[in-house]
């Protein structure tokens, strides 16, 4: 499967979640086994030799591919969740969104300084959520952090929010 074929499986939803937005709906790609295989194999090829010890998925669509990749790599999966969703002791980071403040959390025992972490989410738009996730993971003093997306909306310049030492990879660009 090619990038163009995968792009053809991603649905545009106009005026969602608010008027003027064209939402890239990956659920139409997720239901296609060829797209899922493409995502899994392409991400695995990008990270198989990076020494990753944990794959982190950001709630909620990051929970689709992150555990699949972690399983294929033989490493653990760690969820980053919205405030109040994790049952044990957590650390948290707040960040501004277009329409308010959001807070994400990780369990205090989720990572150790020896970890090499891949943070995954489905789509990079403005970069606020991933930047907050990156700041949260940095609190653990891990060795290295990678960031990965299935789709990046280049025109929103979300990638510019990251330090130059963060390896940011996206499979599909719009």
- The catalytic site residues sit at 61, 98
CB-based contact 46:170 (threshold 8 Å): no
CB-based contact 116:143 (threshold 8 Å): yes
Q: What's the CA gap between 83 and 104, in Å, rounded?
A: 5
CB-based contact 102:60 (threshold 8 Å): no
Q: How far from 45 is each of 41, 119, 128, 139, CA to CA, in Å? A: 6, 16, 27, 28
Phi, psi of 67 (to 5 degrees): -70, -30
């Amino acid at each position: 499967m090619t990038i163009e074929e995968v792009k053809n499986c991603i649905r545009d939803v106009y005026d969602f979640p608010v008027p003027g937005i064209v939402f890239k709906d990956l659920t139409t790609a997720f239901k296609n086994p060829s797209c899922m295989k493409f995502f899994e194999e392409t991400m695995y090829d990008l990270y198989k030799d990076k020494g990753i010890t944990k794959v982190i998925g950001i709630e909620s669509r990051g929970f689709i591919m992150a555990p699949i990749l972690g399983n294929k790599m033989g490493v653990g999966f760690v969820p980053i969740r919205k405030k109040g969703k994790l049952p044990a002791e957590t650390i948290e980071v707040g960040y501004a969104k277009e329409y308010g403040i959001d807070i994400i959390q990780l369990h205090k025992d989720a990572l150790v300084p020896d970890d090499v972490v891949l943070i995954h989410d489905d789509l990079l738009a403005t970069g606020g959520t991933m930047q907050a996730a990156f700041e949260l993971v940095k609190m653990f003093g891990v060795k290295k952090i990678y960031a990965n997306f299935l789709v990046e909306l280049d025109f929103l310049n979300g990638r510019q929010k990251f330090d130059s030492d963060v390896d940011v990879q996206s499979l599909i660009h719009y």
